[in-house]
Chains A and B, each alone.
Chain A
Amino acid sequence: MMLADILTIILLLGGAFFFLAGTIGLLRFPDVYTRLHALTKADNVGLGLIVTGLAIQAQSWAAAGKLILIWLLVLLAGAGVSYLIANGALARGVAFWKR
């Protein structure tokens, strides 16, 4: 029981770290493409860690399955939508960032 709690805490903190990193990337990166890159990658991993941490605490297998389903849906939507945003930006001629 104790071990599960410690594992959950570690996973949640790890997830929060990835969210923080993704958000800093969103705020600090120079153009749409790099921001999307930071946001989707970091947030997908971060949510994965948080979902795993919560699934350990879940009361039943069904609840854990629902949590993992949420993660898969977010992965799907995140990947699709970030592609669409980047594609839209490209179609409108949003310039790439150059140093």
Chain B
Amino acid sequence: MEAVGLWQSAFDLMLGFSLFGLAWRMLFCADLFKSIVLFITFGLLMAIAWVRLEAPDVALAEATIGAGLTGALLMSAFAKLRTLDNSLKSGQPLLPRPRLHVINFWIALLFTVLLTGGLAYAVLSLPSHSPGLSDAVMSQLDSSGVTHPVTAVLLNFRGYDTLLEMAVLLLSIQSVWSMAGMSDAGEVHTSPVLNVLIQLLSPVLILVSAYLLWVGAHAPGGAFQAGSILGAAGVLLVLSGRPLFNLKKSWLIRLMLVAGPAAFIALATLTLINEGQLLKYPVANAANYILLLETLATVSIGTTLLALFVGSQTEAVQQDQSHQ
């Protein structure tokens, strides 16, 4: 067992320093495209770090959202930026060195080093054992309606947080829509290989999404991971040039966007009246409530993430059409 622990420690050290090194290269590299690729790599390594920290739910969310969807967002923004900025087109190292005055740079560096030292001291002076809220969670798990503690926290004990998070998502898509975007950046590349790939992958992605939603009650998974995979399936369809329904005008899309938050608010009101407390489910029905909320939240999260990706891309064109 001792040897296994040593290998694991070596792996942890390698992973941690790789994360730091990747972040360093990503943030201080003169080529934006390379930065984005390094960011995606960074997200995937973060997912491994979450597994090492015994947080498989976070690993799933990081791999699909942190690396996958954020990467797609950054790539599409970079492509649009390249149509605006000629210096990005030629592929040469495009960024000048930091334009700050040298003294300002050193002041910033000094401040950062001091801050790092202070924070590190604060972290290391914490007690090495702290029960946190694990006892409270475990003692109440039986009355939550699910057997997976993370889902119990997200949808029951701290359902309030998730309610507000759905509101944040709705707010973000509203603000992206309200800012005039720009016309579609580039031509859509289609090829028979891509078509077959998407025909095979889309149903699988939807199936995986439903599986994650269902399994979240007793194992790692849940609405966020399921929703982000659903969103990723949509992104794949959009990227391959599938004529998806008009993402802004369709009332169906709007309904899907608000389904999650609306269900949360409705249930919060209901429980406030019946139980006298916000989102306090009756124990007998908790499992059903959680499943209902999670299903609608999955749909809303997936639609929101897809709409955020498409958002700015086709906005200007659609506005022109509506003015005519």
A contacts B: CB pair < 8 Å:
yes
A76 at the B interface (CB under 8 A) = yes
Q: In the complex, what residues of A have CB within 8 A of residue B197's CB? A: 76-77, 80-81
Interface residue SS majority, chain B = helix
Contact with B along A47-79 (1 / 0, CB 8 A): 000000000000000000000000001001100
User: Which residues of B, 192-213, contact A by the 8 Å Cβ criterion?
Assistant: 193-194, 196-197, 200-201, 204
Q: What are some 14 contacts across the A-B interface (CB < 8 A)?
A: A73-B201, A76-B197, A76-B200, A76-B201, A80-B196, A80-B197, A81-B197, A83-B191, A83-B193, A84-B191, A84-B194, A87-B193, A88-B189, A91-B189
Further contacts, 18 of them, CB under 8 A, given A87-B191, A87-B193: A73-B201, A73-B204, A76-B197, A76-B200, A76-B201, A77-B197, A77-B201, A80-B193, A80-B194, A80-B197, A81-B197, A83-B191, A83-B193, A84-B189, A84-B191, A84-B194, A87-B189, A91-B189
Number of residues on chain B facing chain A (CB within 8 A): 9
Q: Which chain A residue shows the least CB distance to B189? A: A88
Shortest B241–chain A CB gap in Å is 13
Interface residue SS majority, chain A = helix
Residues on B facing A (Cβ under 8 Å) = 189, 191, 193-194, 196-197, 200-201, 204
Q: In the complex, what residues of B have CB within 8 A of residue A77's CB? A: 197, 201
Instruction: State in angstroms the CA–CA spacing of A37 and B71 once bound together.
Output: 24
Q: In the complex, what residues of B have CB within 8 A of residue A87's CB? A: 189, 191, 193
Asked if B193 contacts A84 (CB within 8 A), the reply is yes
Instruction: State in angstroms the CA–CA spacing of A81 and B200 once bound together.
Output: 13
Q: Which chain A residue shows the least CB distance to B191? A: A87
Instruction: State in angstroms the CA–CA spacing of A80 and B189 once bound together.
Output: 14
Instruction: State in angstroms the CA–CA spacing of A66 and B274 once bound together.
Output: 43
Instruction: State in angstroms the CA–CA spacing of A83 and B197 once bound together.
Output: 11
